[in-house]
Amino acid sequence: MSTLVIVESPTKARTIRNFLPSTYRVEASMGHVRDLPSSAEEIPEAVKGEKWAQLGVNVEADFEPLYVIPKDKKKIVKELKDALKDATELILATDEDREGESISWHLLQILKPKVPIKRMVFHEITREAIRDALTHCRDIDNRVVQAQETRRILDRLVGYTLSPLLWKKIAWGLSAGRVQSVAVRLLVRRERERRAFRQGSYWDLKALLEKGKISFDAKLVTVGNVKVANGSDFDENTGQIISGRRVLLLNEEQARALLSRIQNKPWTVGNIEERPVTRKPSPPFTTSTLQQEANRKLRLGARETMRIAQGLYERGFITYMRTDSVHLSEQAIEAARSCVQELYGSEYLSPQPRKYTTKSKGAQEAHEAIRPAGSTFRTPQQTGLDGIDFRLYDLIWKRTVASQMADSRQTHVTVLTQVEDAGFRSSGKRIDFPGFLRAYVEGSDDPNAALEDQEVILPALKVGDKPNCKDLEAVGHETQPPARYTEASLVKMLESEGVGRPSTYASIIGTIVDRGYAKLIANALIPTFTAFAVTTLLETHFPDLVDTGFTSRMEQTLDEIATGEAKWLPYLQKFYTGETGLATQVKEQESQIDAKVARTVVLENITAKVCIGKFGAYLESESEEGLVKASIPQDLTPADLDPEQVEFLLKQKTEGPEKLGLHPETGEPIYVLIGSYGPYVQLGDVSETNKKPKRASLPKGTDKDSVTLDMAVSLLTLPRLLGTHPETGAKVQANLGMYGPYVVHDQGKVGKDYRSIKPPDDVLTITLDRALELLSQPKAARGRSKSATPLKELGAHPESGELINVYDGRYGPYVKHGDINASLSKDESVENFTLQRALELLATKEAAGGGKSSSKSKKSTKTAAAKSETATEKTAAKKTTAKKTTTAAKKTTTKKAATATATKKKTT
């Protein structure tokens, strides 16, 4: 007697095998084995002529989905069928969430087993949990499957109906999504607020007082018993004090006059207030809060956080990482309290076990919070983990343990000091008992250091004391625009609005960035001009689809379908085919949408039009000479585009670039220009004989208006030859690159050795000796070298037997076998990446001469690979997770390729 157990991933399968008897065979489905068609090539011949086939959903036959087995899953399905032939029992052990339930259901439909079937669920992969799950199997929950299927159909209807409209009216390749478009609108609305923001300025005084040799700060809060204005008193839309506020707004002159008046006057303590404060620990992590905290503390994106957490779960270190619940099992509470007792002592243990309940109405997925796996918690040091795996586990361990610790007790102290008619406030904080803060401080990576930072100790003071004023200064302030969303704050906003599911936020944010709707710069999500155009079109013609309230209600209905409170078919009919349904709206609105208007972004205070073109955003303005167009630099954001920049870009087009002067040696003019990638200097004019004049980018942070002729001449000398290396005789140069200034030891075919130039060193003045000193230092790990640990182990190569793994590289995930590396496409997730797909990518790369022997071979590989693909295949790859190989492309007819182009768009 043998039992076949099917899970999603090879890592999960390997871990579970260790906990099951030898009569159990564990195989991986590699994620979903069946889905809606992602290209015309996947549509069965029998239905290719049907008008609904491209949609993948037969809206005329009760929204029946057209499920197909993708090409890269056919081998896996065959292997699973073969394995089932020898089994006397089938156990479906996919994750216990909607996605996992759906995968089990699809496996059941494809395999059609004639043996007994069980559905096994668990929230952690430990020996105890797996053995327990075997004795508590259940049937597939068809209501959950129906809810997931409705969600999938709904996403397809929105994406495949609206995306073609965006292609026609704005630009090819754009996409719309049920949750994606709402998230993009949130980014755009915040950017609009930043554009509308009007800065206000105010002044106050700051004093350094001393009592008993202990110094403390004091800030001006009143003058003549009238409150002094601060940033919260300003109207963001006017830059003026909010109407009705009775406050005193000080300018620089008034602040300095007040300073002079009270400079040498006596200070007196007028009032002291001590207020005890008790803080409770935060609940254990959910999917959403883990993404938020990992972004704040570890600077991890949502997608990367989920990838790392998935690996920790599959290897048995943490419980299931897709959950809305903050609940802890009795086993987990006991394990956490045991850790507190052993590591911190009984005084740090909460008097009673803390039990957390999930407040979110739509909470579902796994029924326990994210925590360390097992009945006893391994400390981070006991796991053997390292790098980012260790740091994320450490975060989860600390948060879980802290949730069972005692409250933190603090005393907040406020001291009011008077000098003449000016009142000053000093604030202090004393931590009387750190409690849970000993283990975990939200937003801080080091609890002990954070505890010290949190305390602000004031000297022992009493009313009537006269502290000495050691220093008094006038300080100017300017109000700041609303902060842009980070991944953490966007996730928090989406969750608070009830938009989407936390388990999907990572892929949604990734899609927004990948599709060019936002750029992730310094941890901030900055919407592009394209995002503005798409959002405006959807707001104008399909307002419900980008309304957070409408999308939240849609999410609630999907939850109700999962619990049997709502019916899926009437809901889909009303949403799509009713009188106000999406299909009807698109049909009515398409003729009313002017493509020229849709491609134009209207920004207040900007006289020129901002248009979306084939190669990005550009300015368009009427002048005496006619219509003038000028590209907008890629790093210029919508909130930062002002009239001065518009004038400069247009003037550069009509009058030519700004001339700095003449080169002292050649006599050629030197210009300052702004291009697609920012400001640069240029030597000479573009002409028939000089089609590519020498150019040099400005160093990062250098304003174009601060560039002098001497600086420009120096920049144009780059790369600077500093001399030769004393050991190799090879040249050593200094230059500016994509990642900033650097020195390079160029040994030709042997290779190049780079080191970054950091302040106070300067690329224009650095010497050979200093360059040699930098080159002698160990190279800092970056790019691929930082990820010696694979993101995912795929298995052995069928011919060589060598392991094939996925690694994290400078330009994203890549698969590696021997000396051959092949990048995953932007739409391919590491989680669902298969060995079969890896073999296809590697074979294509190898056939094109792909290796890593030299930069020249890399370049030729890219060229060969590019030539081996058709234009249609490239485009389809973006939407079909690059499932076609070069061989498949050759078999595809021109007619099929055209159809694939029209149907390939797959959205979130």
Active site residues: 320
Q: What order do you get walking across the sheet with 752-756 strand by strand? A: 720-724, 731-737, 740-746, 752-756
Question: φ and ψ at 534, to 5 degrees?
Answer: -65, -45
Question: φ and ψ at 420, to 5 degrees?
Answer: 55, -130
- The answer to whether residues 170 and 537 touch, using CB atoms and an 8 Å cutoff, is yes
How far apart (Å, rounded) are the C-alpha atoms in residues 373 and 123? 9
- Of 219, 233, 152, nearest to 425 (Cα)? 219
Q: Maximum distance among all alpha carbons in the chain? A: 95
Question: φ and ψ at 846, to 5 degrees?
Answer: -70, -40
Helix, strand, or coil (residue 818): coil
Secondary structure (DSSP) of 560-629: HHHHTSS-HHHHHIIIIISTTSHHHHHHHHHTT--HHHHTEEP-TT--SEEEEETTEEEEEEEETTEEEE
Question: φ and ψ at 631, to 5 degrees?
Answer: -65, 145
Extract the tokens encoding 599. 């491609």
- The angle subtended at Cα 805 by Cα 801 and Cα 808, nearest 5°, is 160
- The answer to whether residues 160 and 905 touch, using CB atoms and an 8 Å cutoff, is yes
What's the burial of 565, exposed, middle or buried (CB within 10 Å: 0-12/13-18/19+)?
A: exposed
Four-residue CA torsion sign, 708, 709, 712, 717: negative
How far apart (Å, rounded) are the C-alpha atoms in residues 745 and 733? 7
Residue 410, strand partner residues:
277, 431
Can you give the length of the chain in residues?
908
* Backbone Cα Rg of the chain: 32
How far apart (Å, rounded) are the C-alpha atoms in residues 218 and 416? 9
Four-residue CA torsion sign, 415, 417, 423, 427: negative
Residue 351: count other Cβ atoms within 10 Å of its Cβ.
Answer: 7
86: DSSP letter: T
- Of 381, 357, 364, nearest to 320 (Cα)? 364
**Which amino acid type is present at position 592?**
Q
- The answer to whether residues 445 and 455 touch, using CB atoms and an 8 Å cutoff, is no
How far apart (Å, rounded) are the C-alpha atoms in residues 673 and 698? 10
How far apart (Å, rounded) are the C-alpha atoms in residues 388 and 393? 8
Report the phi/psi class of residue 505: left, alpha or beta, with left for phi > 0 and alpha for psi in -120 to 50.
Answer: alpha
Extract the tokens encoding 292. 């938020």
Extract the tokens encoding 367. 């029924």
Helix, strand, or coil (residue 794): strand
